[in-house]
Amino acid sequence: MNAPLRHPLVTKPDFDVAIIGTGFSGLGMAIQMKKAGLDDFVVLEKAETVGGTWRDNHYPGCACDVQSHLYSFSFEQNPNWSRMYSPQPEIRAYLEKCATKYGVLPHIRFGVQLTGAAFDEAAGLWRITTRTGEVVTARAVISGMGGLSIPAYPNIKGRETFQGETFHSQNWNHSYDLAGKTVAVIGTGASAIQFVPQIAPKVAELKLFQRTAPWVMPKPDRAIGGFERALNNYVPGFQRAFREAIYWFLEMRVLGFAYKPKLMEKVQHMALRYIGKQIKDPVLRAKVTPDYTIGCKRVLISNDYYPALTRENVDVITTGIREITPSGVITDDGVEHKVDCIIYGTGFKATDMLSGLPITGMGGEDLNSRWKQTGAQAYLGTAVTGFPNMYFLMGPNTGLGHSSMVYMIESQIAYVVDALKLMRREGYNHIDVKPQVQAEYNQRLAGKLDGTVWNNGGCVSWYRDDQGRNVTLWPDFTFRFRRQTARVNPTDYVATPVTVVAANRN
Ligand code: N01
């Protein structure tokens, strides 16, 4: 039973809490709210089903590149994963099952797309506007919109003039038959290296436009057999121990990325040997050998990417793209590559975290404008000064170059639940992180990031914004993030009691 608020609110919002999105963040948040007995919440979802990025990305070969046992909620282990690295349909089904099992579905309003959110200081609540013109009010807003949800298209001259079929990896057109077609793929990131091996055997010709070669390591993937699944199902602690082992193995990568660059030299040597083993043609090998320190961009894992590049019908083109024409792609050397289809594997607007969504806080300040100036900054990647009761799951500097995002998301969720409980316990209407606390935290982060491969590895990556500020990555062990987010320190926040808000209204 919830403790009642000590003071009745003058303006009762529609909901105590509004959660945005139904990926791992939004669903995980909703589940923990229910577990904590904080039942007065709504989940707003733009689509018609749950799943977030695992609903939206469904290109051929789409799978997770973090092991299934770790890429799942700690409280809901799935003993029946079919592979060490789950394919997208299984992760999506897992999230759907979680939503049903934990009774979250009745809280979700599907087909509701946000157009903005503004904090009403006098009423002490957030007004969320939606595409249909409806306004939803809530005391707290929790964004689970994800860091990689808005596709990025390259700014290439003539892109709109192309007359053939064209789509982004996130909006794969499955009804377009690629068989027998000449296809251009632009980009060689995590998405492209998964779908290129799938489509290469089908198409007549595949022209892969590579601007920067990725580092690719072998993927220790395998089917999980019946015996192992039985152990997961029936031997208490077996799967959890496996999960722990994976967790600590991945955590050790931080040593190389952030603390001991010498370690990475060994890993880089292994990766070079892998290229050598997979690609015999010296010209192709030179093309796909990266020219920056391993780890600077996300290290990719694949067993079928390099073999796909060695196919007769695949051409890796490293000359820059000058222009796109109605019939194809012209490279900087003036060669025109005529194609039937262009597929963009060009990633997401990762550093533009709000993607232009207007969010207005205290004193009418717009968060987009602030973050354009300062770079995306928050306290513990979660709370932003001047934007009380608003929390960002997967907010600034919570991304990982080495392990499972679900671990970070669960840490943030625990923190937000603690904040909501604190407000209830103390009779606060809203809390706002102190500017000094946020500034000092970000100074410490910047110091940590300074020495890492992500900032010093000699590459350009989506980890950093257009001014070179690393606004996406957590530069440390994830258990340290968990420790820092374990409890809300009330002295980090300025709290406004319900009575003050009530007085404002009178
Ligand atoms: O996107 P990316 P992604 N001309 O940004 C190239 C997650 N993810 O969708 O490197 C030519 O990595 C660009 O070139 P360059 C994961 O976190 C997870 O593949 O900038 N090329 C690059 O090659 C991942 O990191 C899973 O020089 C242009 C590519 O496009 C993130 O999503 C699976 C260009 C973009 O690569 C994004 O991956 C898949 C231009 N103008 C994705 N502009 C999991 O398994 C861009 N490029 C969990």
pLDDT tens by residue, 1-13: 444 444 455 578 9
All domains in the chain, ordered by first residue: 15-150+350-497 (3.50.50.60), 165-344 (3.50.50.60)
Q: What is the pLDDT of residues 331-349, one digit of tens each?
A: 999 999 999 999 999 999 8
Better pLDDT: 417 or 466: 417
- C-alpha dist (Å) from residue 503 to 98, 124, 137: 42, 11, 20
298 CB near ligand 1 (under 6 Å): yes
Rounded to an integer, the average pLDDT of 471-482 is: 96
186 CB near ligand 1 (under 6 Å): yes
- C-alpha dist (Å) from residue 200 to 171, 208, 318, 330, 407: 19, 10, 18, 21, 35
Quote the ligand 1 centre to 187 CA distance (angstroms): 6
How is 110-146 classified by DSSP, letter by letter?
Answer: ET--EEEEEEETTTTEEEEEETTS-EEEEEEEEE---
pLDDT at position 5, please?
47
Rounded to an integer, the average pLDDT of 204-223 is: 97
146 CB near ligand 1 (under 6 Å): no
380 CB near ligand 1 (under 6 Å): no
Q: Residue 257 in contact with residue 453, Cβ under 8 Å?
A: yes
The answer, yes or no, to whether residue 505 has pLDDT greater than 80, is no
Quote the ligand 1 centre to 300 CA distance (angstroms): 10
The answer, yes or no, to whether residue 469 has pLDDT greater than 60, is yes
Which pair of structure tokens corresponds to residue 222? 């395998």
Q: Is 5 helix (H, G, I), strand (E, B) or coil?
A: coil
399 CB near ligand 1 (under 6 Å): no
405 CB near ligand 1 (under 6 Å): no
Cβ–Cβ contacts within 10 Å for residue 402, how many?
Answer: 21
The answer, yes or no, to whether residue 111 has pLDDT greater than 80, is yes
401 CB near ligand 1 (under 6 Å): no
Angular region, 119: left φ>0, alpha ψ -120 to 50, beta rest: beta
Separation of alpha carbons 137 and 145, rounded Å:
18
Quote the ligand 1 centre to 413 CA distance (angstroms): 27
Q: Where are the alpha helices (DSSP H) in 315-427?
A: 367-374, 405-426
pLDDT at position 8, please?
52
CA–centroid distance for 27 within its chain: 14
Stated pTM of the model: 0.95
361 CB near ligand 1 (under 6 Å): no
189 CB near ligand 1 (under 6 Å): yes
Quote the ligand 1 centre to 62 CA distance (angstroms): 13
pLDDT at position 421, please?
98
The answer, yes or no, to whether residue 181 has pLDDT greater than 50, is yes
Strands 216-217 and 300-301: parallel
The answer, yes or no, to whether residue 75 has pLDDT greater than 80, is yes
Quote the ligand 1 centre to 250 CA distance (angstroms): 21
Q: Is the ipTM of this complex over 0.95?
A: yes
Q: What is the pLDDT of residues 112-123, one digit of tens each?
A: 999 999 999 999
In the predicted model, what is the mean pLDDT of the chain? 95
Rounded to an integer, the average pLDDT of 359-375 is: 96
Separation of alpha carbons 14 and 227, rounded Å:
50
Quote the ligand 1 centre to 190 CA distance (angstroms): 6
Considering only CA atoms, which of 21, 243, 34 is closest in space to residue 113? 21
Rounded to an integer, the average pLDDT of 466-478 is: 94
